[in-house]
Structure 1
């Protein structure tokens, strides 16, 4: 004790103050009643719940179908651990990812501009390719202008949260993508989900709510990614005009897919594209690249380019991705038969599945066909059996889909052959019979 006292006595005034501050800090920290799960990731209840779910699946002898490593290009077939499988887990609807002209364009862009534009486009990352791509997208859709973002999810989040805020109302479809919901939450606006594709229910909401808010946004999708169904766009346009709101359409899964020329849901219904205020789409599906876009009036695009955080404070799209998307758009125009074949193959698969008694829900005229089994474990088991039979398709489970609507989701490509589609439907039917037989008392 005496030695400690002598030690303190020998300290300078500054050192004594530092020691006192340290002791007080340690005392304060010791008195804090903070549960361990509040400061350790591995003790988060959410993390532990995930681990429990993973352990339960392993105990049942089911392999995790997610995060499998694929080699080669994601086409109508894929290779996993040296096995080639029929592939239904890729968005490569038009088979343009891996197209020699698209790949060559990406390589040429790297040779010309490098692998990164190395800055935000506002600063010094603007390249001629960016403007060419945006002009081509706007022309395809039939609107004045377009702006591209580095990620599809971020496109919705930054656009919705930036254009709308307190005193505003956002009415979004109950089956909207997570990126739409995140954008609504970050906006600070009041957000209300309306029943899926139900324009009558939406009008009831507008009658009650429209006058209470400054701006109102209605958000729908061109094709819904879990169900493969199409909303009645003309009905939503009428409501937008009647109640003086904005209308936004997320075309992630419909651009390049719907319409005779792949121009999306506006071509499918034959409406004037300028009747929709905000067209959103992604470049990672039909357009064989990565990123997203907003298309519409020049005023809208100019404002987003100058002020949207996800654009102003983010790097520009890479040269390779920009060139790939631009080349894919050119091939869409040069090879319209890809769209026609996609329509034929998708309808063939849908009708064949229904003829076998499979529950395909509300899917129609799209490249997305679910097979709904209604149970999480059954969806996992079905996916595993099909994998063993040489078919790669992923399960979708709650909360990605509503409870008791667990399913396998099949993405159809124009590259799929009729033999591959017949083989797959027969395999699904046989696998479900096997599961039902195993579960029989």
Structure 2
């Protein structure tokens, strides 16, 4: 169905009697105190309780515009509208560029300003800048600990009294009819007494494409967040909560067209397991392209990102081996380590001196009790840490690898496709030969807009994993639409070189036919060299190849837009006075909030602005107890104006909640926005 004939998902219905509870009214004044905000939230909650659950309203428009909007395919920003009931202005900017956009503006923001571009690359010969984790003032830490202490004490008192005067409400935690309780009283205490209080900030139902914007399904609770009721309304919000780093989570565009064609060819039922129907041609093509993309000999695919680590690591090491793991490694790595049976030691996050001291100790002492040499020593690190936004110090680890001769496993779930001038991950970012690393692991759920994961390495290792890994025997294969999304998005990043059909698939010999163009030796070298382009023979012959996909312009543009957005937000937040832990080029930006109560209020205030913003808030046990944070995930689909909108919201809410605790030079918001390009291109920024 063409976009012009589809009803706009952002149509406005001013006459609707049930506006969303997550939208401000006509007043646009900033609340000066947290108390005034909490009072407003209480009033909104009271109105929500009186709503008729059967009423509906259409999705509100997002009060955002870009410096350049697309062609007539963009049916969202097609007219100027002012909703007096909501006090929101929805501007329409006429096309000012001859560029033809193939995406809807709400999915991918259109920006033709080449100044808002940057190349993600580490300066050769320099050390990775160490992140200095600033501590807040003592009164912040003290009130944070006191708040946890009060919640724990009051929670235990309520449990003690409730079990005696309201036993029915605690029946699921007590022994009854000779059966033990399925839910442990102690283990579920944190969930019941802390998380449930702020559960409206987590697991918010959404619908549609999680692109530049996202549509929230509005809800409210009548029993203090134990259960939620839907109002029937929806709210479109700016999305900085999804791992959509390159903006490939789209319903329109070349990748979506390729996926649609794969569904037509293979059908929906072609999602059976390999052991039932065998490996499809798409699996072979995807594995070959992933290996070429990563600069490795071979690659192996898995249908689930978490299972990639948790099932591959036990196939690499076993009893008598040693795993040295960064203390902030992902839960999937920890699960795989436990299942392997190998000994495990931890080193401080990105502390190379601590790692070297640990290596000397374990090599000199050998295995426990017997002191025999270790069968293998495997060090596992991540390229980009999702909670901290910090980069693994790969150059320093490579120096240690040459000295101590261990195996290296790098998890690039968040860095592949998002880091480096060619989007090849941290190896590309640091200019390191990927074949100097033993195992490269990554997922397709972030930068590529698909699902599943991969492991890349030398052919002997990958062939061994195909036989011994549990993911081969017990998991389902990736479905054709998912594989097609991987192929199309990866080819978009690489660019495609048209190679004529040849007789021998194992060589690049070309038929000298007048009907097919000939390639020069330079073209052939570009196809085979890393990080070169993808040959057209590596893709399915039926896959539609748009010009923007073939020449690699779209992929390079996305990489440079993401790098600009990430660097701009990181540095701008520090200039505003916030404490962040991430490296400048990281698309994951954690903003430290510390206090769990402030964390909930921060999320609600973001969601209730005139331009709603969806953020992820994270607390214990995913982070240390006193380092609760909001985590922003930037995307190439965001425009500079989107980042400015986020910065303005952080600036206003940060003043209300007293979040600006960082030391150093501060700039006003207007100066940050005006000098954005200068700020991004600075060599050093405190």
Q: Shorter-chain TM-score: what band?
A: 0.7 to 0.9
CA deviations over 1:62-94 (Å, ceiling 9, x no partner)? 552112111221112111132111111111111
Which residue does 1:105 correspond to in 2?
258
Which residue does 1:90 correspond to in 2?
242
Task: Please state if 1:233 is matched with 2:394.
Answer: yes
CA distance in 2, matches of 1:275, 1:199: 19
Which residue of the other structure, out of 259, 263, 273, is the alignment partner of 2:434?
273
Which residue does 1:401 correspond to in 2?
623
What is the Cα deviation at residue 240 of structure 1? 2.2
Which residue does 1:78 correspond to in 2?
214
The residue correspondences of 1:316-335 to structure 2 (distance < 5 A) are 316-333=477-494, 334=552, 335=554
What is the Cα deviation at residue 121 of structure 1? 2.4
8 Å CA contact retained: 1:120, 1:311: no
Structure 1 residues 324-333 or 360-369, which shifts more?
A: 360-369
CA distance in 2, matches of 1:404, 1:125: 50
Task: Please state if 1:291 is matched with 2:452.
Answer: yes
Task: Please state if 1:170 is matched with 2:335.
Answer: no
CA distance in 2, matches of 1:121, 1:301: 17
8 Å CA contact retained: 1:216, 1:245: yes
The residue correspondences of 1:190-269 to structure 2 (distance < 5 A) are 190-210=343-363, 211-212=366-367, 213-269=374-430
Pair 1:120–1:306, CA change in 2 (3 A) = farther
8 Å CA contact retained: 1:194, 1:202: yes
Normalised TM-score (structure 2): 0.56
8 Å CA contact retained: 2:379, 2:409: yes
SS at match of 1:41: coil
Pair 1:229–1:43, CA change in 2 (3 A) = closer
What is the Cα deviation at residue 46 of structure 1? 2.1
CA distance in 2, matches of 1:363, 1:125: 44
Which residue does 2:334 correspond to in 1?
181
Which residue does 2:201 correspond to in 1?
65
SS at match of 1:146: strand
Structure 1 residues 278-287 or 192-201, which shifts more?
A: 192-201
CA deviations over 1:334-353 (Å, ceiling 9, x no partner)? 22111011101111111111
CA distance in 2, matches of 1:114, 1:218: 42
Task: Please state if 1:435 is matched with 2:638.
Answer: no
Pair 1:228–1:38, CA change in 2 (3 A) = farther
Which residue does 1:40 correspond to in 2?
181
Which residue of the other structure, out of 140, 159, 171, is the alignment partner of 2:293?
140
Which residue does 1:15 correspond to in 2?
none
Pair 1:49–1:350, CA change in 2 (3 A) = closer
Which residue does 1:383 correspond to in 2?
603
Which residue does 1:367 correspond to in 2?
587
SS at match of 1:46: coil
Task: Please state if 1:50 is matched with 2:191.
Answer: yes
SS at match of 1:45: coil
CA distance in 2, matches of 1:38, 1:310: 36
SS at match of 1:203: helix
CA RMSD between the two structures: 1.9
8 Å CA contact retained: 2:326, 2:350: yes
Which residue does 1:282 correspond to in 2?
443
Normalised TM-score (structure 1): 0.86
SS at match of 1:431: helix
Q: Which has the higher helix share?
A: 1
CA distance in 2, matches of 1:200, 1:374: 28
CA deviations over 1:329-368 (Å, ceiling 9, x no partner)? 0111222111011101111111111110011123331111
8 Å CA contact retained: 1:134, 1:146: yes
Q: Unpaired segments of 5 or more residues in structure 1?
A: 1-33
CA distance in 2, matches of 1:49, 1:360: 26
CA deviations over 1:393-441 (Å, ceiling 9, x no partner)? 010111111221110000001111111111211211211222249xxxx
8 Å CA contact retained: 1:228, 1:364: no
CA distance in 1, matches of 2:459, 2:595: 47
CA distance in 2, matches of 1:326, 1:38: 52
Q: Unpaired segments of 5 or more residues in structure 2?
A: 1-173, 218-233, 368-373, 495-551, 660-686
SS at match of 1:373: strand
Structure 1 residues 174-183 or 329-338, which shifts more?
A: 329-338
Which residue does 1:3 correspond to in 2?
none
The count of residues paired between Structure 1 and Structure 2 equals 399
Task: Please state if 1:304 is matched with 2:465.
Answer: yes
Which residue of the other structure, out of 566, 570, 576, is the alignment partner of 1:350?
570
What is the Cα deviation at residue 119 of structure 1? 4.0
Structure 1 residues 259-268 or 42-51, which shifts more?
A: 42-51
Which residue does 1:421 correspond to in 2?
643
8 Å CA contact retained: 2:271, 2:480: no
8 Å CA contact retained: 2:582, 2:588: no
Structure 1 residues 107-116 or 289-298, which shifts more?
A: 107-116
CA distance in 2, matches of 1:43, 1:268: 46
SS at match of 1:223: coil
